[in-house]
Structure 1
Amino acid sequence: MATLVLTVVGGLVGGPIGAAVGALAGQQIDRNVLFAPKGRQGPRLTELALQTSSYGTPIAHVFGTMRIGGCVIWSTDLIESRATSRSGKGQPSVTNYSYSASFAVALSGRAISGVGRIWADGKLLRGSAGDFKTSTGFRLHLGGEDQAVDPLIASAEGGLAPAHRGIAYAVFEHLQLADFGNRIPSLTFEVIGDAAPVPAGAIAAAVSGGLVRGDVALTLPGFAAYGDARGVLELLGAASGAWFVPEGRTIVLRDGTSANDTLDDAGLGAGDLPGLRGVRTLGAIEAVPQTVTIAHYDAARDYQRGLQRARRPGAGHRAAEIELPASVSADMAKTIAERELARGEAGRERRTLAMGWDALGVLPGACVRIAGTPGVYRVARWSFEQSVLRLECVRLAGATAPARASPGRALPAPDILTGRTILHAFEIPPLDDTVLSAPRLIVAAAGTAPGWRQAALLYSLDDGARWLTAGATAGVATVGVLAGRPGAASANVIDLINQIEINLAHAGMALNGADDVALDAGANIALLGEELIQFGDATQISQSRWRLSRLLRGRRGTEAAIGLQQAGDRFILIEADAALAIELPLTSIGTTVRFLASGIGDAAGPIGATAAVRGGSVLPLAPVHLWVDAQASGDLLIRWVRRSRAGWRWIDGAETPLAEENEAYRVTLRTASGIGRTVETALPELLLAASERAAIVSIEVRQAGLHGESPASAIALPAM
């Protein structure tokens, strides 16, 4: 009689799928898919983590959510851009060069549902909120069979541009390369193949084209099927503790220890084959790995590579490692390792049974019990010879309790939101003793979130008809708004009465106090509405709210703005590294300058601001200390003290520098009806004759400078 032998071989990532295909006698299974000659096997974690750009590189099929490197499938040469800016009239121009690149990266060989975070050289390029940390255009093609050609690739390649249907890929348009050494960085992507974890059986069915069905409990949060189908299927079998069973015209991936049959070989043809009844063998312990290590990706650690190990006591030195291209937790990886080790130990025990014709339905891969023997066995080999059915059975391990494991220290890349740009432009006197020859505006910028760093800046002197580049904004300024209206105070003494509450732009900003020495040196100077203040104490009230006290008010000639602020007015801490100075032509005095800023968080459009140029940076300061000295003759001697934009500090024994071409004043004499006449004088005094005194009720004094007059200081005259 003919002999028929069917086999299902088990083992630690050995060759079970090939054996299962061989067991399907007379069935038509695509051996090019499932039983191709061994060459490239399953995925390796290092291959998934690195970006490639080589022809013939396999593209992973992503299930669940995984972090992968992808493959560059199209790119342009580096694109050089240059921008010339000039800080002011008469200043040399500066040409700045920048580089960008446009390219496409294939992400998955099957359709996906989206992309989460993106890393560039290990740092976040795109955060979990979808915000980019570096300026770039970005488009994602999900890999549908009807997806259109990318417009950028089409414009570069013309009619030859492929649509890459069935392949999910990302296109970066003009990715700025300054942060990456002017080269395309190594990118990795959090690819969302499916919105939920995927059963291992569903993955097996997908990679085999439906030739393998899955009946296993293992569910993977993320998996990258990379390499040939056979290697992927065997890896899934090892990870799930399952085996391949021929069933009809397909193969089933099966796990579990539930037995449908209990076998007893006593007296069933065994006499014809002596020595086969209940034969038990026990393999050497050295054949079982002493340690099993699972290498995996750990989503809790930004998909960094993790290692979990299971170890058994006893003899032997063999070690086994499974590279699992899956996103699993440390606990799950440890459980897989423990289960694989238990499978190896249980599999040492084998039993051979001799059965009669009535057991022909017990096929390879079936789970059975053996009468009088504890435990469950898997039928690994089935042979029928001389009317006797011979079954070779392998002991199955019992259920493995879930393991607990430490994932190790997490070192995630900071994911700081960028936010939109906050832009302020204003004119103030210089904060040192520099005497400017042209008006100067200060630009301070920040963002609504801590990740903001810089924005490109344009300005217009003609109401937007023509725009000039100012390069980029300076460092991140500390900005906010006034929470309530501050009280009035004198500019001549420290304000110990009023307190000012400020809401900063976000909780990442902070203020610090300063002692009297630091205040005297110019520390903690800020613009509050139109008033320059200094504060000695800063107390945090809540995450972004601060209370300022021990104040110096009306600094640098801004005493006219004291107490005029309203809630919501601007607060800007003025620091040298966060202030961009823009010098303007003299003809701009009396006009308004427009600004536009565009940062990487300003996808909705650039941020605008305006600044009125009143000349406060180049004009003399209003005189102070006006007083009236009545003469015996009835005349009035009006005197005042001039101030200088080149001498802010009070230095005893030294005259304040003039800082103008000559000393000159324009005095306006006003009557009760408001009508006045102007008198010019070169001295800080004016003698008002008794004959004129009756008609004049007030006097305004302005210092004349090279570029215009100062604001007025006024005094009312005493009645006669």
Structure 2
Amino acid sequence: MPALAGSSAIGGKPPTTSAPDGVCPLRQKASLMATLLLTALGTAVGGPIGGAVGAFIGQQADALVFGGGSRQGPRLRELSVSTSSYGQPIGRHFGRMRVPGTIIWSTELIESKNKQKGRKGQPSTVVYSYSASFAVALSSTPIARLGRIWADGNLLRGTLDDLKVAGKLRLYQGHGDDPVDPLIAADKGINAPAFRDCAYVVFESLDLGDFGNRIPALSFEIFADGGDSAVSLSRLIPGAETGSADVVPGARGFADEGGSLAATLAAIDEVIPLVCTSGRDRLRVAPRSIAQNTVQTLPEALAAGGGSAEERRRKQRAGVPGRAPAALRYYDEERDYLPGVQRASGSRRYGRELMVDLPVTLNASGARQLANERANRARWQSETVVWRIGEMDPRLQPGAIVRLPESAGLWFTRSWEWYDEGIELVLDRLTPHQMGPQTSDAGQANRPADQIIPSTSLYALEVPADGSIGAATPALYAAVSAENSAWRGAALYSVQGNGLVALGSSGSQRAVFGSLIERLEPSHAMLFEPEACLIVELVGDDLGFEDADMAGLAEGANRVMVGSEVVQFAQSIPLGNRRWKLQGLLRGRGGTEHDAALGHDVQTSVVLLDDSLVSLDPAEVPPLGTSRIAAIGIRDEEPVIATLANAGLSRRPLTPVHPSVEVAPDSTSVWCWTRRARGQWRWDDPVDVPLIEETEAYLVGYGAVAAPFAAWSVSESRFRLSQQERLSLVTAFGPAPLWVWQIGTFGNSHPLLLDEIN
């Protein structure tokens, strides 16, 4: 007999976006007709949303009849990045998600010319850098807040909302009353759009130096609807009755990249079967619920045409079972929202694998649970029962969960039809409940470092000449560093009164320096001291030292400036917590043995003398003890200022060495010494080192260095004193030391003790 009336709720396989391989044109045409017919029926019942759901149901029917391909659901984006294509849809996003965005406004690149200070022994260079201002649309629905930002795979903005490069960021959440951005207004004038009802960000003067002087490929972590709870169906399908159901249990985010609502519902239905029914006033869309208090037991079935009891129910197979989906692709929250794959337990690993794409944010365990449930449903979904009853129960609407008399298991009410011999229900077998939660591993993620850009550490010093620059040029350097490698460098300035004069950029290479945490005892600075050591605390955890052998030390390796003394070390031992032990010392290097004899207190600065130091021009920074420089980095709220240490050290003559005395036959005493030259540390042959100073001159004094009783100027490295002159000095002033210093072009050396006269 023909059916008089009926209703249905379909919750099976998703629609296919194209005809599968081997499907004939006739089947494709039949599929199109079914979809169009159900779309028209849905529109007549429920309006535009009803039409979308009708198309969804029709496409499900197509899938049940003709089958699907090896990949189902909307394709997940593989590391998608920001673009700027006309006509590109801006997706709707719910919960937390990583999105590429679309560039909707931009200025031209702005060129800047900066002088970058040369490293130790290298000239300064002129560096051209570029910045740009642009806006990126993120979502066509409002968002609550913005999280991390990736640029070319690295973090541009971290979890503490800090930009890793210079520039400013403004967020517009996508509400209808968002103001016009002032930067866009300045560029476009009265025609400036506000981009209302669209969430977007504006970058102002973003430094592009780290990205090849171009706008980088961007992706954004966004949080909508709070971002920490599951995504509700009511937000996804406005106007439909959904209750408080979640889109996908455990999902932290959902991406609707455009297209028909039917396709979106079909993607969800692949993993969480949906029940779509039409009521008197609105559509009802909800996941299948198996709450025990709503399960009804059907009455005994009516006999069909007076048949036997066995003929009261007709149990049939709905065609040949299709392949069970073996895997689920999703956005893995534990791997920075990159696509992940979880396979159902016990799924086959050979042949073409059926995979379902679901654009939701999940963790690995939740995705594994869904994959197992989907595969389990596929094993049971082909069993159908047609059950005829005499009276229609109002509670037996399509989508209801029922039991059959004297039969185990639960059944889903797919549809009912009213015949003259009763009401016929079409029931689908429900999957038995799986025991226990599923656990899985998302795999390792190669996450970029999220380090807070630290403030700048600065130290300015003059070091002994090493022969790499002219003898008349002071060796002035800045040690510029920070706690970690996120530091992007700093602009350097010379402090002149209350003003700052630009010196250029330091670059991003960090100097290795810190301070003593234990006193360094005095030393005669004559021999290698294998057991001697110094303990230093550096400004950063990832800074450190390297070892050197004796040949390396002879070539000048591993030199550190401890206060005003140059020390070489053989071994470097990390102690943890930024602390290092430098052992096996050569003290008083570079003519600083006078300072080695004094020792150094706690908190004395320690600077590694390598090419990480920034050279300072003495024309801009005078070699005076009152000279100051300043550094300003991205995270420096105030200029960091340092006063020049060891002023005059590089141009001070070295203390003479090797004193000796001889007594001539006439009782005249002759004192001799050996001079040294600034920057000339190697004596490769018996030839004397260059003079370096304009003239060879010395001052010999008797008595205290600060106020000698007598002094003599000599022009050679020897001094004579007759016996009578010696006795006169002792008689007049008493016993006192005899010393000599070298008079240089720019200053005098420390004194060398020649003898004690008594």
TM-score range, shorter chain: 0.7 to 0.9
| Corresponding residue of 1:702 | 741
Aligned CA distance change for structure 1 residues 425 and 167 (closer, same or farther; 3 Å): same
Q: What corresponds to 1:231 in structure 2?
A: 263
Q: CA deviation at 1:305?
A: 1.4
**TM-aligned CA distance change 1:376 to 1:514, over 3 Å:** same
Q: Give how far 1:449 is off.
A: 1.7
2:456 aligned to which of 421, 436, 445: 421
1:220 positional shift: 0.7
Deviations 1:494-535 (CA, angstroms, capped at 9, x unpaired): 234542111222332232322211111111111122221111
User: Cα gap change, 1:312/1:121 in structure 2, threshold over 3 Å: closer, same or farther?
Assistant: same
User: For residue 138 of structure 1, what is the amino acid of its counterpart?
Assistant: L
Q: CA deviation at 1:192?
A: 2.5
Match 2:220 to one of 170, 181, 189: 189
Whole-Å separation in 1 of the counterparts to 2:549 and 2:387: 93
Write the distance in 1 (CA, Å) between the matches of 2:620 and 2:263. 76
State the alpha-carbon separation in 2 of the partners of residues 319 and 674 from structure 1: 96
* 1:136 aligns with one of 156, 167, 174: 167
Change (3 A) 1:592 1:70: same
Instruction: Give CA-to-partner distance per residue, 1:192-218, whole Å, 9 cap, x none.
Output: 224454334x1x211222414143571
Whole-angstrom distance in 2 between the partners of 1:209 and 1:319: 35
Structure 1 residues 586, 77: CA separation in 2 closer, same or farther (over 3 Å shift)?
Answer: closer
Task: Give 1:579 deviation, angstroms.
Answer: 1.9
Judge conservation of contact 2:117–2:614 (CA < 8 Å) in 1. no
2:229 aligned residue (198, 220, 231): 198
**1:530–1:558 CA contact under 8 A, matched in 2:** yes
Unpaired stretches in structure 1, ≥5 consecutive residues: none
- Partners of 1:108 and 1:313 lie apart in 2 by 37
Return the match for 2:238 from 204, 209, 219: 209
The residue number in structure 1 matching 2:4 is: 3
Contact map agreement 2:329 2:339 (CA 8 A) in 1 = yes
Match of 2:692 in 1: 659
Query: Is 1:46 the equivalent of 2:73?
Result: no
Q: Is 1:478 aligned with 2:512?
A: yes
Is 1:440 matched with 2:475? yes
Structure 2 equivalent of residue 713 of structure 1 = 751
1:20 and 1:237, CA in 2 relative to 1: closer, same or farther beyond 3 A? farther
Deviations 1:38-85 (A, max 9, x none): 99x985322882322223332233333221111112111111111246
Contact 1:64 1:197 in 2 (8 A): yes
- Residue 494 of structure 2: aligned partner: 460
Answer yes or no: is 1:100 the counterpart of 2:131: yes
**Cα distance in structure 1, aligned partners of 2:117 and 2:455:** 26
Provide the rounded CA distance (Å) in 1 between the counterparts of 2:522 and 2:371: 73
- 88, 92, 97: which one aligns with 1:61: 92
Pairs within 5 Å for 1:588-603: 588-590=622-624, 592-600=626-634, 602-603=635-636
Counterparts of 1:245-284 in structure 2, within 5 Å, are: 245-246=277-278, 249-258=282-291, 259-267=294-302, 277-284=312-319
Once residues 124 and 486 of structure 2 are traced to their aligned partners in structure 1, the CA distance between those partners, rounded to angstroms, is: 30
Residue-by-residue CA offset, 1:113-157 (whole Å, 9 max, x unaligned)? 333322212222233344444333223333344443333223322
CA contact (8 A) 1:289 1:341 kept: no
Whole-Å Cα distance in 2 between the matches of residues 133 and 484 of structure 1?
Answer: 36
Separation (CA, whole Å) in 1 of partners of 2:394 and 2:309 = 20
Measured in 2, the distance between the counterparts of 1:270 and 1:637 equals: 142
Distance 2:94 2:225 in 1: 6
Mapping for residues 332-481 of structure 1, pairs under 5 Å: 332-386=366-420, 388-401=422-435, 402-432=437-467, 434-452=469-487, 454-460=488-494, 462-463=496-497, 465-473=499-507, 475-481=509-515
The amino acid that maps onto 1:442 is Y
1:672 & 1:262 partners in 2: Cα distance?
A: 113
| Matched ranges for 1:543-582 at <5 A | 543-562=577-596, 563-576=598-611, 578-582=612-616
Q: SS of the counterpart of 1:291?
A: coil
Deviation at 1:460, TM superposition (A): 1.4
**TM-score (normalizing by structure 2):** 0.83
Show CA shifts across 1:148-182 (max 9, x none): 33332233223333333443322222222233222
Deviations 1:549-595 (Å, cap 9, x if unpaired)?
2111121122233344322222221222x122223139923353333
Deviations 1:405-425 (A, max 9, x none): 443443333444542222222
User: Does the 8 A contact of 1:246 with 1:364 survive in 2?
Assistant: no
Question: Is contact 1:438–1:586 with CA below 8 Å preserved after alignment?
Answer: no
Q: Determine whether 1:167 maps to 2:198.
A: yes
Q: CA deviation at 1:450?
A: 3.7
Deviation at residue 634 of structure 1 after TM alignment: 7.8
The secondary structure found in structure 2 opposite 1:337 is helix
State the Cα distance separating 1:663 from its structure 2 match. 0.9
SS at match of 2:499: coil
Comparing 686-695 and 122-131, the one that deviates more: 686-695
Give the conservation status (yes or no) of the 8 Å contact 2:288–2:399: no
| Corresponding residue SS for 1:334 | helix
CA contact (8 A) 1:489 1:495 kept: no
Q: Is the contact made by 1:8 and 1:20 (CA closer than 8 Å) also made in structure 2?
A: no
Render the CA deviation track for 1:651-675: whole Å, top value 9, x for unaligned. Answer: 4623222122321124455579936
- TM norm structure 1: 0.87
Aligned to 1:514: 548
Indicate how the Cα distance of structure 1 residues 50 and 33 shifts in structure 2: closer, same or farther if over 3 A, else same.
Answer: farther
Q: Identify the match of residue 504 of structure 1 among 534, 538, 541.
A: 538
Which region of structure 1 is more displaced relative to structure 2, 68-77 or 686-695? 686-695
Greater shift, 44-53 or 390-399, is seen at: 44-53
Greater Cα offset, 330-339 or 398-407:
398-407
How many Å separate the matches in 1 of 2:346 and 2:624? Answer: 85
Gap change, CA 1:432 and 1:128, over 3 Å in 2: farther
Secondary structure at 1:198's aligned position in 2? coil
User: Which stretches in structure 2 are left out of the alignment for 5+ residues?
Assistant: 17-33, 60-71
> Kindly, what percent of the aligned residue pairs are identical?
31
Report SS of the residue matched to 1:557. Answer: coil
Q: Secondary structure at the match of 1:342?
A: helix
Amino acid aligned to 2:571: D
Q: Report 1:6-25 matches (<5 A).
A: 6-14=7-15
Distance in 1 of aligned mates of 2:741 and 2:649: 14
Letter of the 1:177 counterpart: L
Could you tell me whether the CA contact under 8 Å between 1:493 and 1:552 is conserved in 2? Answer: yes
Aligned equivalent of 1:330? 364
- 1:620 paired with 2:653, answer yes
Deviations 1:263-293 (A, max 9, x none): 13434886599998312111233x4224343
Distance 2:177 2:556 in 1: 65
Amino acid at match of 1:99: Y
Aligned partners of 2:704, 2:332: CA distance in 1, in Å? 84
Offset of residue 253 of structure 1: 0.7
- Cα distance 1:611–1:77, how it changes in 2: closer, same or farther (>3 A)? same
Offset at 1:631?
7.2
Cα 1:671–1:662 change in 2 (3 A) is closer
Structure 2 match to 1:495: 529
**CA apart distance, 1:704:** 2.7
State the number of aligned residues.
Answer: 710
* Letter aligned with residue 90 of structure 2: I
Amino acid at match of 2:367: A
Whether the 8 Å CA contact 1:298–1:330 is kept in 2: the answer is: yes
